[in-house]
């Protein structure tokens, strides 16, 4: 599921500040990066299954490995995890309304905080 028109996809934020913001909202980057891309995930284990909110970004300036990048955020995704195949984001997936509402609020909170640090 794609969360379109959240406004977050218009933001460019310093990587170090972005890491702090995402971590404060439970979104973890961990080892999910290369020199041009980052991925922040938050895991939700609910009655209906295991889901991941994913917010990705691209380096538009600098180098992620050197911690001096400016990140252009992308459209957030919500996917359902299927063991052992992985996470599915497809249109045919069913997402619990309570989880979608939680993710929308989380995205709005990240967007509001990150807007204070737009590059």
Q: How far is CA 78 from CA 3, 31, 39, 93, 103, in A?
A: 8, 19, 13, 10, 8
What are the residue boundaries of the structural domains of the chain, listed by start?
A: 8-115
Tell me what percent of the residues of the chain surpass a pLDDT of 90. Answer: 81
pLDDT band, very low/low/confident/very high, at 30 (cuts 50, 70, 90):
confident
What confidence category does residue 57 fall into, taking pLDDT thresholds of 50, 70 and 90? very high
Torsion sign across C-alpha atoms 39, 28, 23, 81: positive
**pLDDT confidence bin for 91, thresholds 50/70/90:** confident
Q: What does the pLDDT read at residue 93?
A: 87
Please name the residues in contact with 31: beta carbons below 8 A apart, sequence gap of 6 or more: none
Interatomic CA distance for residues 80 and 100, integer angstroms: 12
Q: Which pTM was predicted?
A: 0.92
Other C-beta atoms within 10 Å of 61: how many? Answer: 13
Predicted pLDDT of residue 99: 97
CATH code at 8-115: 3.30.310.100
């Amino acid at each position: 599921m794609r969360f379109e028109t959240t406004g977050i996809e218009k933001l460019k934020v310093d990587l170090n500040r972005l890491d702090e913001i995402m971590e404060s909202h439970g979104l973890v980057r961990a080892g999910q990066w290369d020199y041009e891309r980052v991925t922040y995930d938050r895991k939700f284990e609910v009655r209906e299954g295991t889901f991941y909110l994913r917010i990705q970004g691209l380096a538009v300036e600098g180098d992620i490995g050197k911690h001096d990048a400016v990140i252009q955020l992308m459209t957030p995704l919500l996917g359902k995890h299927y063991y052992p195949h992985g996470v599915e984001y497809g249109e045919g997936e069913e997402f619990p309304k309570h989880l979608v509402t939680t993710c929308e609020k989380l995205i709005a909170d990240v967007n509001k905080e990150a807007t204070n640090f737009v590059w």
